[in-house]
Amino acid sequence: MNHSKVFPNAQAALEGVQDNMTLLVGGFGLCGIPENCIEALVKMGAKNLTCVSNNAGVDDFGLGLLLQTRQIRKMVSSYVGENATFERQFLDGELDVELVPQGTLAERLRAGGAGIPAFYTPTGAGTLVAEGKETREFEGRPYILERAITGDFALVKAYKGDTFGNLVFRKTARNFNPMVATAGKITVAEVEELVEVGELDPDQIHTPGVFVQRIFQGQNYQKRIEKLTLNEGGL
């Protein structure tokens, strides 16, 4: 039996994704998003998905592609301000939305990967974020109980990976990908460069391969920039 984690492409690596599943999606803005996996999901057609991601992409890129095809039923996100499709579907009642403070979202994913069912945080106490949640006071300060997040599949994108699934991220791509990678029942990693075990410096590995079940080398990355700002006057 072949126990290799290496798959030929995104569609093969996403085998088993079905309607009504919860998908955790890495990336920060348009940086470090699993472009190949998202495109494959559009073609596969799974619907009524719950997607947990820091943001919802833009109208024609990232998770915005799955919103266009109405495959997402619920979004759990921190920032959604760049996506008009998201706004329209939410206001029309087509899309269920759970807005989560960014640090809380990162910690809910990290807790899910660590097997911690819930934790207390002061973030959001006394606001709409706290509605319906248990509140306790510690040392005179109110804290709310937040539940951990796990998913059926976790989709991440790394700069480099080896055939065991060890991953190296670059710069801003580390913001959410490492936490997402730990919190899925099945974690799928797409990488720009796939190498053999032993070729990565152990001190530079951000996600150990024990968290990754499937890996493939991606292609044709667009690496878009949400808002390009240039310095007209030079340095």
pLDDT digits (tens, 9 = 90+) for 71-126: 999 999 998 877 889 889 999 999 999 999 999 999 999 999 999 999 999 999 99
Q: pLDDT digit string (tens) for 39-78?
A: 999 999 999 999 999 998 888 899 999 999 999 999 999 9
- pLDDT for residue 159: 97
On whether the CB atoms of residues 162 and 216 are closer than 8 A, the answer is no
Please compute the mean of the pLDDT values over residues 10-18 and round it to a whole number: 97
- pLDDT for residue 81: 76
On whether the CB atoms of residues 190 and 10 are closer than 8 A, the answer is yes
- pLDDT for residue 83: 85
For residue 58, what is the DSSP state?
B
CB atoms near residue 216 (< 10 Å)? 23
Closest CA to 167 of 105, 104, 217: 217
- pLDDT for residue 1: 42
Cβ neighbours for 228, distance < 8 A, ≥ 6 positions apart: none
Gyration radius from the chain CA atoms: 18
- The stretches of 102-203 forming alpha helices (DSSP H) are 102-114, 177-182
Q: Enumerate domains of the chain plus CATH numbers.
A: 19-115+148-217 (3.40.1080.10)
Please compute the mean of the pLDDT values over residues 8-13 and round it to a whole number: 97
- pLDDT for residue 82: 76
pTM exceeds 0.75, yes or no: yes
Q: pLDDT digit string (tens) for 151-210?
A: 999 999 999 999 999 999 999 999 999 999 999 999 999 999 999 999 999 999 999 999
- pLDDT for residue 232: 77
- Which pairs count as long-range contacts for 139-146, CB under 8 Å and 24+ apart, including other chains? 144/120, 145/118, 145/119, 145/120, 146/104, 146/107, 146/108, 146/118, 146/119, 146/120, 146/121
Rounded distance between C-alpha atoms, residue 5 and residue 151, angstroms: 19
Rounded distance between C-alpha atoms, residue 181 and residue 116, angstroms: 16
Q: Which residue has the tokens 């996506």?
A: 83
Rounded distance between C-alpha atoms, residue 63 and residue 170, angstroms: 21
On whether the CB atoms of residues 53 and 77 are closer than 8 A, the answer is yes
Do the strands 118-121 and 141-147 form a parallel or antiparallel pair, or are they unpaired? antiparallel
